[in-house]
């Protein structure tokens, strides 16, 4: 057979085979489109994994500091007394070790102490169930008032919403590094006019197991409404801010404020204590000074944010609301209006992320030149929702009260145990309750989604701190295996 004929026959056979295969494929696809496929669905499994038992740690800020008491050393820092520190844990009898950090900038650290680190040994404390708090009363010629603070976890990022560097006001940023490696810290300040240029605040080194103190006035002078954003690499940082005020020649309050909740579109500030009839009209957004209740807000993004501030008295219904437009990067102190004495909850709803804290004052400084000057001031930060259980350390102080608030997603029946005695507290949806706590240790159950704070109040003393949930490394996580 000629070669050419054989090539034609082979080519024809290949074409016929290809056509046959194609026909079969078309038939299979057509059948698949017409006939029903077998159904099989498996719900993803889930496993709750507890973190490996590790050392839990909380950092207490240490004693209050004064600056420039000696005219010959105008920038020298020194403490003027010791802070009272307590710890709380579950189980309650767990052994908690207390160690002090180095405080080289405090000239009297050897006498009055330094920041304290609370640590539990692996497995000694249930995950996330370690807490600490401190309190101190200031009575000097230039400083007066009462301050309380919780002992916080060291993190790589925090927001401090408090302070002022205008005339008569001093603010110190306290940076504690409880880790065994150096921390490189960037401190960025925003004020009422926007971000503050402070190149010296970038790349600050905080040595291992030590505290660094920065004067906010040195970074952002004459700023009435600062917000401080702190980030760190290497070691983690426990940050806080001390603010003190003087009216004329008289002390007009002191406070030690921890980090507020991270930027969010929905924030809760529980337990704002108003000591008496006080305030200015809510439309007066240029009110100056500390002697009126206000909420400080910052939209840290690049867009304008519309905010609604709900103000409700504990046990008093829905209350009033204030609408505010925030310019990006500029801090606003919004007066809360003329409020009667009582305890209030702020609910902040925004169409973009914001950070927030509220300020209030109590009493009058009798020897102050200005008769309206307060005897003490306090900052109330936004509190993140708690998990199902929590433990709270209550430092000593006047009329200590636990403040509990929930959102619109339903009421909570919380179990509050104070020094072994348990009571059930009903927290209504979108409501709040106040629970007096005279014990050192408070255990909470049934508080998932609840925001909480501890407040103190007397005729001349006011202070507060938020009960923040443990970080992600302390709490169990839910895993969906593949």
* 38-42, 80-84, 304-308: segment of lowest average pLDDT: 38-42
Nearest by Cα to 264 from 349, 152, 155: 349
Q: How confident is the model at residue 28 (pLDDT cuts 50, 70, 90)?
A: very low
Question: Is the pLDDT score of 17 beyond 70?
Answer: no
Tabulate helix, strand, coil % of the chain (nearest 5).
10, 45, 45
* 28-32, 257-261, 287-291, 457-461: segment of lowest average pLDDT: 28-32
CB 468 within 8 A of CB 119: no
Signed CA dihedral, 213, 219, 224, 226: sign only:
negative
pLDDT of residue 36: 53
pLDDT of residue 26: 47
Percent of the chain with pLDDT over 90: 69
Nearest by Cα to 224 from 91, 331, 66, 114: 331
Mean pLDDT on 285-309: 86
Higher pLDDT residue, 7 or 140? 140
Reported as a single tens digit per residue, the pLDDT across 178-209 is 999 999 999 999 999 999 998 889 999 999 99
Percent of the chain with pLDDT over 70: 80
Average pLDDT of the chain? 86
Question: Is the pLDDT score of 111 beyond 50?
Answer: yes
Higher pLDDT residue, 190 or 438? 190
Cβ-based burial of 40 (10 A; exposed 0-12, middle 13-18, buried ≥19)? exposed
CB 364 within 8 A of CB 145: no
Question: Is the pLDDT score of 440 beyond 50?
Answer: yes
pLDDT of residue 55: 82
Question: Is the pLDDT score of 1 beyond 90?
Answer: no
| Residues in contact with 325: Cβ distance below 8 Å, sequence separation at least 6, in sequence order | 304, 305, 306, 307
Alpha helices in 66-193 (DSSP H): 109-112
Mean pLDDT on 288-294: 79
Question: Is the pLDDT score of 285 beyond 60?
Answer: no
The terminus-to-terminus CA distance of the chain in angstroms comes to: 63
pLDDT of residue 49: 55
pLDDT of residue 407: 82
The strand pairing partners of 242, in sequence order, are 172, 256
Question: Is the pLDDT score of 119 beyond 70?
Answer: yes
Mean pLDDT on 308-319: 87
Mean pLDDT on 326-334: 96
Cβ-based burial of 449 (10 A; exposed 0-12, middle 13-18, buried ≥19)? middle
| Residues in contact with 280: Cβ distance below 8 Å, sequence separation at least 6, in sequence order | 287, 292, 335, 337, 338
CA distance 198 to 208: 24
Mean pLDDT on 212-218: 96
Question: Is the pLDDT score of 16 beyond 70?
Answer: no
pLDDT of residue 371: 46
pLDDT of residue 477: 57
**60, 402, 279, 244: CA torsion to nearest 10:** -20
Q: How confident is the model at residue 438 (pLDDT cuts 50, 70, 90)?
A: confident
Question: Is the pLDDT score of 71 beyond 80?
Answer: no
| Strands annotated E in 91-162 | 96-100, 116-120, 130-139, 144-150, 157-161
* 18-32, 52-66, 129-143, 282-296: segment of lowest average pLDDT: 18-32
Reported as a single tens digit per residue, the pLDDT across 332-354 is 999 998 888 999 999 999 999 99
Question: Is the pLDDT score of 471 beyond 90?
Answer: no
pTM of the model: 0.85
Q: How confident is the model at residue 43 (pLDDT cuts 50, 70, 90)?
A: low
């Amino acid at each position: 057979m000629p070669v050419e004929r054989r090539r034609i026959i082979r080519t024809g056979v290949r074409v016929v085979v290809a056509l046959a295969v194609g026909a079969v494929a078309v038939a299979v696809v057509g059948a698949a489109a017409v006939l029903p496929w077998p159904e099989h669905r498996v719900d993803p499994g889930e496993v709750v994994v507890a973190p490996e038992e590790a050392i839990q740690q909380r950092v207490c800020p240490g004693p209050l500091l004064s600056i420039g008491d000696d005219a010959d050393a105008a920038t020298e820092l020194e403490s003027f007394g010791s802070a009272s520190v307590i710890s709380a844990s579950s189980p309650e009898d767990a052994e908690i070790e207390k160690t002090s950090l180095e405080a080289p900038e405090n000239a009297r650290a050897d006498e009055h102490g330094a920041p304290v680190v609370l640590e539990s040994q692996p497995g000694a404390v249930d995950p996330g169930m370690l807490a600490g708090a401190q309190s101190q009363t200031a009575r000097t010629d230039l400083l007066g008032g009462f301050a309380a603070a919780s002992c916080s976890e060291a993190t790589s990022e925090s927001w401090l919403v408090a302070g002022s560097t205008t005339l008569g006001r001093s603010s110190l940023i306290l940076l504690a590094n409880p880790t065994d490696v150096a921390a490189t810290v960037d401190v960025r300040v925003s004020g009422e006019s926007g971000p503050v240029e402070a190149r010296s605040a970038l790349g600050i080194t905080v040595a291992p197991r030590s505290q660094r103190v920065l004067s906010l006035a040195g970074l952002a002078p004459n700023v009435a409404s600062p917000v401080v954003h702190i980030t760190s690499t290497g070691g983690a940082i426990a940050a806080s801010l001390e603010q003190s005020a003087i009216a004329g020649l008289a002390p007009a309050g002191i406070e030690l404020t921890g980090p507020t909740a991270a930027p969010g579109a929905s924030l809760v500030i529980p337990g704002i204590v108003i000591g008496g009839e006080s305030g200015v009209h809510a439309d007066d957004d240029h009110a100056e000074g500390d002697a009126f209740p206000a909420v400080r807000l910052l939209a840290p993004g690049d867009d304008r944010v519309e905010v609604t501030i709900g103000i409700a008295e504990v046990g008093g219904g829905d209350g009033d609301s204030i609408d505010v437009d925030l310019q990006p990067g500029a801090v606003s102190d919004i007066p809360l209006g003329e409020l009667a004495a009582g305890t209030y909850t702020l609910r902040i709803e925004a169409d973009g992320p914001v950070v927030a804290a509220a300020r209030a004052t109590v009493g009058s400084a009798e020897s102050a030149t200005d008769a309206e000057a307060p005897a003490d001031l306090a900052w109330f930060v936004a509190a993140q929702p708690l998990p199902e259980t929590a433990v709270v350390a209550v430092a000593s102080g006047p009329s200590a009260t636990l403040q509990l608030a929930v959102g619109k997603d339903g009421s909570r029946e919380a179990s509050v145990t104070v020094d072994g005695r348990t009571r059930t507290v009903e927290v209504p949806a979108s409501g709040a309750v106040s629970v007096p706590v005279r014990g050192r240790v408070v255990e909470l159950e049934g508080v998932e989604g609840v925001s909480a704070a501890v407040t103190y109040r007397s005729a001349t003393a006011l202070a507060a701190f938020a009960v923040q949930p443990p970080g992600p490394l302390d709490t169990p996580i839910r895993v969906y295996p593949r």
